[in-house]
Structures are given as structure tokens and as C-alpha cells.
Amino acid sequence: MELRQLKYFVGVAEALHFSHAARQLFLTQSALSQQIRLLEGELGVELFIGIKRTKWHKVELTQAGVLFLNDAKRILQLSEQAIQNVRQVGAKQPVVTLGVFKLILPERIVGMLELFATHFPSLPVKLVELPDTVQVQEWVATDRVDLGMTVLPLVHEGLAAAPYAEANYTILMNRDHPMATQMGIRLEQLHDQKWVDVGREAGVFFGQAEEICRQAAVNRAPNIVQHVPSFELLKSMVRLGKGIAFIPASMDLQQEPNLLSMPILNNDGTPFRKIIIQHVLIHKIDQATPIVQALSGLVKMDMAATQG
């Protein structure tokens, strides 16, 4: 008997409906039904009345199921308490260091720290800002930091990556720009535009921006008027009308009334999604500590829940 099977059983028993429970548990209905059948087979009793379950996916507990529900809840509560107890002890261990690529959006970093704090409230996390995506990988691979927030691709072997977000590219422009009234921009319209850019040292962002333009035969190089070290300066330059810029679609512009994030479109008017930014939390595979494995596992579960 597995704890996850108890969790699935309690979920169905409380929802009184297989389809509803499957959605809440982020499972397919067939997978949930299979796990319940396995549990019933191990116990040697039916936990739900079979006819209703088969015809309408509604459930009604058998007498054995009613009795088992109380015990299952108690076991799950004890299990959760045991996890919290050991985490509180583990959190007293040395600080976890998190290397962060400097162009990762602040809200993503805050979200990651909040996720960690929800499950490990006493765990201290030290942030280390690093200038490019490759250096984040190098520091993780050489044990200079425990975890890293970066973007794909990985260039170092021996690293595990847990995806936590992805974003499309859009065009940042001043609202006074001549193309600001359009619903979107085709790449072919970007010939002869002035650009502000985070520069080649930013690694994947610069490379992907160049690839986007290459696909449309747009030569940006002679038209980049300013390289900047951060997205904040990038926004300032665009706000002043110095040029346009590639940015992640997830960038928060709520406090920027003079700036506009313009979607990129294919020639047929569909959204351009051939190149995306894939955010990952990375750690070294060999000799990963239990706390590092646990934090990586949290990210995977959170991503699965979001996608579900």
C-alpha cells in the first residue's frame, strides 16, 4: 500500500465523483480508477459501490470504505506531520545557495523563494547573482552554489533541470512608436528599426533574438544603438524612444504606462512560437543533498499542478 493510493482514495471519497476527484488530483480518470482498483485488490475488499462507479462515475462508500476512510485520513495526517517535523530539523542545516542569472525576472525569483518558504519556512536561502546562463551552470557544476535559476539549453554535463516556466518573445516599444497601434508585428516589418539590447554577454537571450531575426532575414547588428546590462535599463531606453527591444512576454509592464509589449506574428497572423524561453531550476546530479532534491521536487510538482 502506498501513501499516494491513500491520498487518491480520500480524494475520491470526499468528492464522491471519480471525474471531479481526478481533476483535483491532477490525474486522468483512468489512472485514478486503476490505483483505486489496486488498493482494493491489496485490501481484498471493495471500498466503493461498483454499479454507480461504472455507470455514472459517481461513488458511494461501502461499509468497509467508510471505516477505512477515517484510518486513511489519520495515516495521511501523521505522514504530513512527520514530513514537517523532519523538514524543521533539516532546515537548521547550513544555508542553501541559489545562483540566479541576472536577467531572470524578479517576480520569478520571488515566486521560487515563496515556493521554498511554503514548504521549508525556516530554511535560509542565499541568492547569488551571476552574469550569464553558462556561469550559473558552471557554479552549480563546481559546487559553488547548490541550485541555479537559468534558462535552457544546458551546456554542462551532470546537471538535472526542473522546468518551472516558459515564455514567448515579444517586442517592447514606446506607445508613441508608429507601429504601436497594430495588433501584432511580423518580423519582416523590423527592417531598419533601431534596437536596444541586453548584449551578447546575456547568452541565450541575445542568441535567440538573433535567431528570430535570422529566420526573417532581418539584420539587427548595424541598428543596435545601445547595449544595456539589465532589463530595467532596457525599459528606460525604450521609454525614451531610443529603439525597440526583444523581451520575454512575461515581463510585468503594469507600472509602465508608456511602454507596450507587442506580440510577434507569423505571416499568416498566428502567434510566433518557434523560439521560446525555457526556465529551469538546476542542480548537480551526483551527490545532491536531500534538501536540494526536495526543493527540485517541489518545483516539478508545482509545474505539474500548474499545467494540470
pLDDT digits (tens, 9 = 90+) for 186-210: 988 888 899 998 877 666 677 778 8
**Annotated domain spans of the chain:** 3-90, 96-164+280-307, 166-276
CATH number belonging to domain 96-164+280-307: 3.40.190.10
CATH number belonging to domain 166-276: 3.40.190.290
Distance in angstroms (rounded) separating the CA atoms of residues 163 and 268 = 30
User: Can you spell out the DSSP letters for 125-139?
Assistant: EEEEEESSHHHHHHH
Angle of CA points 67, 1, 119, to nearest 5°: 95
Q: Say what percent of the chain tops pLDDT 90.
A: 28
Q: Is the pLDDT of residue 37 over 70?
A: yes
Block residue for cell numbers 488498493 = 39
- If one compares 199 and 166, the residue with the highest pLDDT of the two is 166
Distance in angstroms (rounded) separating the CA atoms of residues 108 and 98 = 13
pLDDT digits (tens, 9 = 90+) for 67-90: 998 888 888 888 877 777 666 655
Residue 156 DSSP SS3:
coil
Q: Is the pLDDT of residue 290 over 90?
A: no
* Global confidence as pTM: 0.62
If you average pLDDT over residues 11-21, what whole number do you get? 86
Distance in angstroms (rounded) separating the CA atoms of residues 88 and 53 = 41
In this prediction, residue 307 carries a pLDDT of 58
**Equal CATH topology for 3-90 and 96-164+280-307:** no
Q: Which CATH class is domain 3-90?
A: mainly alpha
Residue 16: alpha-carbon gap to chain centroid: 32
